[in-house]
Chains A and B, each alone.
Chain A
Amino acid sequence: ETGVTQSPTHLIKTRGQQVTLRCSSQSGHNTVSWYQQALGQGPQFIFQYYREEENGRGNFPPRFSGLQFPNYSSELNVNALELDDSALYLCASSSGTGRVTDTQYFGPGTRLTVL
């Protein structure tokens, strides 16, 4: 059974650029959640996708957007990067309908640095 994988591992961008992060969910999982974890902080919920539809969103601006594909893999897109976007971006997959009671399985994350 393959776990949750994320790519790339590390990424360096400059302010104003756009970035796409990718996540492959664990086999059999149809829900993907994305989190931002700034240095020294806990994860912050960005949004969740269930069966290719956005299924919940945290307090992040619209320049944070996402997609989920028919194979349940997912992308996180961030436009107009700001310095404060520098963080570890975590993807988590789960089965069920995406409620908090569903066990989430996390990927290792993508470290984004914005210069």
Chain B
Amino acid sequence: AQSVTQPDIHITVSEGASLELRCNYSYGATPYLFWYVQSPGQGLQLLLKYFSGDTLVQGIKGFEAEFKRSQSSFNLRKPSVHWSDAAEYFCAVGYNNAGNNRKLIWGLGTSLAVNP
């Protein structure tokens, strides 16, 4: 079955520290990969996406992610975290196969807390 794993339920970092949030997907076909952020009372916002090409993608708010096919991973990184980055982060995967090209499969999310 297709699934997305975010191994870290909760992460706490200090402001200014670097951040890496992990994401692994299970299905072997070429995936379309996404990272979204969800802040309380706000809708999910797309941070970045990967479809093909350069495996290191840049997103909004200073985030980047790297697709590693050999590890079935798409980890999200930020060099220096700001207090406003505290939120829930979701990794999502989509596929372009018949009957399954309309929906995204989501991880359980990683809750990020930022210490001042």
Contact = CB atoms under 8 A, between A and B. Distances in A.
A43 B44 contact: yes
Contacts of B106: 42-44
B101 interface: yes
A107 B95 CA distance: 23
A109 interface: yes
Contacts of A3: 43
A108 B42 contact: yes
Interface residues of B, number: 25
B43 A100 contact: no
Contacts of A70: none
A22 to B, nearest CB: 15
A90 B103 CA distance: 14
Given A106-B44, A108-B41, A108-B42, A100 B90 contact: no
A7 B106 CA distance: 24
| Secondary structure class of chain B's binding surface, majority of residues | loop
B51 interface: yes
A58 B32 CA distance: 18
A98 B101 CA distance: 9
A55 B36 CA distance: 23
Nearest to A55: B102
A109 B42 CA distance: 8
A interface, size bucket:
20 to 34
Contacts of A4: 43
Interface in B27-53: 32, 36, 41-46, 49, 51
Interface in B1-33: 4, 32
Given A42-B108, A56-B103, A100 B95 contact: yes
B56 interface: no
Interface of B: 4, 32, 36, 41-46, 49, 51, 90, 92, 94-96, 101-109
17 contacts: A41-B109, A43-B44, A45-B103, A45-B104, A48-B103, A55-B102, A56-B103, A92-B44, A99-B96, A100-B96, A100-B104, A101-B94, A103-B49, A105-B43, A106-B36, A106-B44, A108-B42
